[in-house]
Amino acid sequence: MITKKILKEIDKDIKGISIDKFINICLYDKKGYYNSKKPIGSKGDFITAPETSQLFGDILGLYIFYIWRQKYNTDFNLIELGPGNGSLLIDILKITNNYENIHKKFNIHLVEINKHLMNIQKENLIKNNFSYLNIKWHKKFTNISPLPSIVIGNEFLDCLPIKQFQRKNHKWMEKYINYDYKKKIFRYDDKLVKKKKLIERLLDYNDCDFIEISESRENYFDSLCKFIKKTRGTIILIDYGYFNPPNRSTIQSIYNHKKSNILENLGLQDITSLIDFKRLIEISKKYKLKIDAFCTQGNFLLNHGILERKKKILRKCNQKQIKQIESGYKKLVNKNYMGNIFKFLILSND
Ligand code: SAH
């Protein structure tokens, strides 16, 4: 189904379709990956930080409680973008449960495109006795009441499609995806960049011959900044990404826990790419938001007490649980796992 749809689009242009259009259909079409059943968790295709260890949600929950009390101390929106199985939210709710009735102040908004995941989130909230809370689901980041807001997104922006550009013989070419009808395979093609605005932007990257730009990510982030500018609040984004462009393709696809080729298994596999945090920070400046943190996941968690929290939990654990907690901790913090490549970007407007 997806293949047919992509071929139909490809046939419209001799060069095929742009990568962002291709990713968009693969992920967000009715039959696309994000409408498929269960992408996340140990039985799904990939495992995220909150699925790795409760310590991640514990530290974020404590941070959220702390900034809420310091800065807002009133009714507020807790908005999560792409909550997956709901694990992060549940860990945040568990750790904040004992504090000053904060849950009564929560207006929880979950922005989720995947119907199956939405149901899993509902089931998990019921299982953990949190379904009585004021929780609303949204397919898009719209219609959210203008209260002070804390917005969290873990591995959310990396889903949004990107375009890729390569400099060849002093000219910028955009990478397109085309179909070889003889060999019956998808392949890459190059299309000369002609749009003046785009050429001007690409000229900023003097030191690179390979650049990725995500219009949909930039637009989404822009709307988050605009919202926070209006309502007051804090945006907490955690994702894998860079500050200086790595000068190579960062597209990754995962099929059954293994790295795969994006031109295969169309609609059946996750496709993500690294976030250009420098660009997001530039956008946030337009709205004069304050940067509360921009650092690696390892540094954020260590600076906000993950070691102390781990020690406290370990006191009540048996041998098997100790092993599990230690292994989760290592994955979150260690430079060779998620500690370095994942970044925290926290912005606020108070
Ligand atoms: N935050 C979760 C899940 C990350 S996977 C965790 O850390 O475990 C990405 C999540 O974003 C999934 O829930 C997916 O269905 C959702 N998603 C992806 N693109 C989306 C979009 N454009 N709008 C809303 N939700 C989206």
pTM: 0.96
**11 CA to centre of ligand 1 in angstroms:** 31
Query: Collapsing DSSP states into helix, strand and coil, what is residue 167?
Result: strand
pLDDT score at 42 = 58
CA-wise closest residue to 251 among 337, 338, 167, 162: 162
Which residue positions in the chain have pLDDT lower than 70?
A: 37-44
Helix, strand, coil fractions of the chain, as percent rounded to 5: 40, 25, 35
- Cα(318) to ligand 1 centroid in Å equals 34
Q: Provide residues with CB under 6 Å of ligand 1.
A: 34, 40, 48, 50-51, 82-84, 87-88, 111-114, 117, 154-156, 159
pLDDT at position 21, please?
Answer: 98
| pLDDT value for 296 | 98
Q: pLDDT at position 258, please?
A: 87
pLDDT of residue 35: 85
Angle, helix 306-314 to helix 319-333, in steps of 10 degrees: 170
Tell me, in angstroms, the distance from the centre of ligand 1 to residue 306's CA.
Answer: 25
Whole-number Å distance between alpha carbons of 200 and 327:
47
Distance 96 CA to ligand 1 centre (A): 23
Which residue matches tokens 């002070």?
148
In this prediction, residue 36 carries a pLDDT of: 75
Amino acid present at 340: N
